[in-house]
Amino acid sequence: MRTGARETSAVRGPAVLSYYLVGGAVLLLLAIGVVMVLSASSITSIRETGSPWGHFLNQATFALIGLPLMVVASRIPVAWYRKLAWPALGVGLLLQALIFTPLARGAKGNTNWILIPGTGQTVQPSEFLKLALAVWLGLVLARKAHLLHRWQHVLVPGLVVAAVAIGLVLVGRDLGTALVVAAVVAGAMFVAGVPMRWFGIAAVAGAAVVSFLVIASPNRIQRVMAVFGGDCDESGACYQTLHGLYGLGTGGISGVGLGASREKWAYLPEAHNDFIFAIIGEELGLLGTLLVLGLFTVLALGLLRIVRRHPDPFVKITTGAIAAWILGQALINIGVVIGLLPVIGVPLPLVSAGGSALIATLLAMGVVLAFARDEPGAAAGLRARRGAVRRSLAVVGGRGRG
């Protein structure tokens, strides 16, 4: 009897581990993000609204919207995601196409947002397009798994639709988001088993397209030269990169203290958004940055476990696409902040300020949690954990009454 109990416990433990790795990492990254948005944005908020709470309250509101959506998404059966794949893709492409209408709104040369009529609130449709494309690719590539050694079945409809999605994002001049969408496609194709030689061809073609887009934009050329040109000073395109490095360098091992950043005093642009990792390094030091990197590593391990353990190809491919999105975007953001990449303009997932990005990311994590709940043995393990918690609370309550 005891041996059987040990065997059952051994099965339950690993089965639910993916769920807790993903869920725990997401919640901790979100908590760090909300706190750091408050710290990094307080001076900017005072200048804009007279109150230090403006950006923080917005981020907290978006988190309070996104968390229930994540919980709901985590309870939806996997079969329903298959049914939702085509409608979600259609809605995602339609919303992205609204950048061609009077509802489009832009900033700093990019047309990324659309206005929700009657609310004054804008939304970035490309963030939700990432999730829709990930789920749709999971469905299509899983159905064609035995045909993916033939280029025609990789091209149609997968790459054709992906090219349309990326093209719609590029029309809005948002190269950073387009690169992340391309990572979604690459992650899905890799997990689906597309031959590696085609990745080489795609990489060459993608590099050619990116090079053309960079050459066609003087602003992009300046940003690239700021990193790779070898001659950099604060007077030009290097300004933001240098001040990000100043923040990281000032923090040392343990940081200057939460709220004590100097760079957020209007020195570092987008301190609460694209460059929040620099403020984390300044205020919390090397230990704070390692904590963030560690949590992304835990998240990566949870996503990898789902890809490896789940028997459903649809789940594997969709999870791979979402992992490429979240982890790839995190690597791009951190690479920009530490000066390895030119300033591209993508937020740090779950940490940077931004409503659409945060809600879409939490929705994606809800989808992944639904997949983790569907792993073999996970449902029984979660029920056993809930039962143990209820019994413990009952015991504590009984002692309290006694």
pLDDT in tens, 345-377: 899 999 999 999 999 999 999 999 999 999 988
Query: Does the pLDDT value for residue 260 go beyond 90?
Result: yes
| pLDDT top residue among 282 and 3 | 282
Report the alpha-carbon angle 85-89-95, nearest 5. Answer: 145
Asked whether residue 67 is domain-assigned, the answer is no
Query: How far, in Å, CA of 68 to CA of 129, rounded?
Result: 20
Structural domain range at position 257: 90-348
Interstrand relation of 110-115 and 122-123 (parallel, antiparallel or unpaired): antiparallel
- What confidence tier does 395 reach under pLDDT thresholds 50, 70, 90? low
CB-based contact 26:323 (threshold 8 Å)? no
Task: Indicate whether 79 belongs to any domain.
Answer: no
> What pLDDT is attached to residue 238?
82
Q: Cα torsion for 19, 23, 25, 27, to the nearest 10°?
A: -170
Average pLDDT of 391-397?
58
359 in a structural domain: no
- Within a domain: 105: yes
Per the structure, the count of domains in the chain is 1
Of 16, 28, 103, nearest in space to 351 by CA: 28
Residue with the bigger pLDDT between 159 and 218: it is: 159
Report pLDDT for 5. Answer: 40
pLDDT in tens, 282-315: 999 999 999 999 999 999 999 999 999 999 999 9
- Is the per-residue pLDDT at 207 higher than 70? yes
Q: Residue 401 has what pLDDT?
A: 54
77 Cβ partners below 8 Å, 6+ apart?
Answer: 370, 374
5 within a domain of the structure (yes/no): no
Q: Which two tokens stand for residue 129?
A: 């397009």
Outline where 172-259 has alpha helix (H). Answer: 175-192, 196-215, 218-228, 239-251
Better-predicted residue by pLDDT, 223 or 93: 93
Q: 359 to each of 8, 65, 66, 128, how far by Cα in Å? A: 37, 7, 5, 9
β-pair type (110-115, 104-107):
antiparallel
Quick check: is 216 in a domain? yes
Q: Is the pLDDT of residue 63 over 90?
A: yes
Identity of the amino acid at 325: W
Integer Cα distance of 361 and 284 in angstroms: 24
In a domain, 64, yes or no: no
Indicate whether 150 belongs to any domain.
yes
User: Does residue 129 carry a pLDDT above 50?
Assistant: yes
